Structure 1
Amino acid sequence: MSDLVSDTASDIATVKTVGIDQFIHDLRSFPADDFANHVASYVKTHRLDRASLERYAFFFPNRYTRNLIFRDETFEALALCWEPGQVSNVHNHRGQECCVVVAEGELRSQTYYVHDRDEGAGTCRLEEGPLEAITREQPGIVDLDAPVHQVRNPGESRALSVHVYSKPFDTCEVYCPVKGTYHEVKLHDFSQYGELTQQPAQDPCGE
């Protein structure tokens, strides 16, 4: 199984463009006990209208931003805004399934495999896995068998993506390749429901 499952345009029979409000409405109709599978099928045939995301499109020069669109007990949806070259830390997803839909630009997801994990010392060794493209035509679904990855905007223009997480979570593990360490960090939203909340968090690895 690929570490990030992507679907090419040839796999898509009919594609419909929807605004973010309709997107969230449709996701809320999916049963909680099979939510991730319904989302994976849905994003194969639906694209997001970029203009509908404008109220969540907060870009910051020094770091990508997380902007909360919707959250309930079943899932949360965030708009992530990327200036050219911006990159996330290497991180996991706490067992939650994640779907990434790009509304503008494109992203790359680098999978990592974690070896020699020492919980007492907080150390580990990372091995690079597959590198996958995420575009408007190729939404990405993080594979729970290999949930550690790093996302970047490789282009020369901005990117905006919507990330749907089953079972919302407030922390994740961040892995620092240069130091060979990992630790838990609290996740911060740059904005919530279109309202600014704070500056982006500092790089927890300091690398």
Structure 2
Amino acid sequence: MTSGLQTCFIRSVPDLQRVLGEIRRPLDEDELRQLAERIRLDRSAWEPHVQYRSDRFCYRTIYASAWFEVNVIGWRGGQQSSVHDHHGTACCVLVLDGVMTNIDYTSGGDGDLCETGRIQLQPGEILCRSDQAIHCCGNVDPAGDDLATLHLYSPPLLPLEQRRHDRG
């Protein structure tokens, strides 16, 4: 990353877009975490970008380039992603509002999935994953409050259909 940017907090979506535009290569998981740790968006900065739907989680891309994809995702109670990996991509998720549950899995030789861990993240907390780590995340409590998350990917993700592990 550009050395002069490493200590500055990122407080707006335009600032995040500017910082990402200055980086000329994909970042690995540790570098992406360092970037995510600098993000300090208050509600007024991210709320105009989040959308919620009753039938499924809703993502909105706020930045895309050859090296990055950044999405704001709105989750209603009970909504979560499919079980997937991040083949070839580093990902960091910053919880903006609400409680996010992440569930990790391993895949057996027969393709069966086994849950290996479950954590809950609060606003301001960050979860990073890369490559073949299999997981799902979201707002698992059906009666839960809305959840808003910021997802940073480097390089951009392959289509979900190529990364899913739950073919149901």
What is the TM-score when the length of structure 2 is the normalising length? 0.81
Partner of 1:44: 37
Structure index of larger Rg: 1
Q: 2:71 aligns with which of 68, 78, 89?
A: 78
Partner of 2:52: 59
**How far apart are the structure 1 equivalents of 2:100 and 2:26?**
29
**How far apart are the structure 2 equivalents of 1:158 and 1:15?**
30
Partner of 1:127: 114
Corresponding position: 1:149 with 2:123 = no
**How far apart are the structure 2 equivalents of 1:54 and 1:45?**
19
In structure 2, stretches of 5+ residues that fail to align are 1-6
Q: 1:81 to 1:167 in 2, by over 3 A?
A: same
Corresponding position: 1:165 with 2:153 = yes
* Identity over aligned pairs, percent: 21
Q: How far apart are 1:133 and its partner, in Å?
A: 2.3
**How far apart are the structure 2 equivalents of 1:32 and 1:134?**
29
Letter in 1 for 2:101: R
Partner of 2:123: 136
| Worse overlay, 21-30 or 31-40 | 31-40
Q: 1:75 to 1:30 in 2, by over 3 A?
A: same
Aligned residues: 158
| Worse overlay, 130-139 or 57-66 | 130-139
Q: How far apart are 1:17 and its partner, in Å?
A: 6.4
Q: Is the 8 A contact 1:20 1:49 kept in 2?
A: no
Q: How far apart are 1:134 and its partner, in Å?
A: 2.5
Q: How far apart are 1:16 and its partner, in Å?
A: 4.8
| Worse overlay, 167-176 or 54-63 | 167-176
In structure 1, stretches of 5+ residues that fail to align are 1-13, 118-123, 177-181, 183-204
Letter in 1 for 2:133: P
Q: How far apart are 1:93 and its partner, in Å?
A: 1.4
Q: Is the 8 A contact 1:75 1:164 kept in 2?
A: yes
Letter in 2 for 1:100: V
**How far apart are the structure 2 equivalents of 1:21 and 1:134?**
25
Letter in 2 for 1:141: C
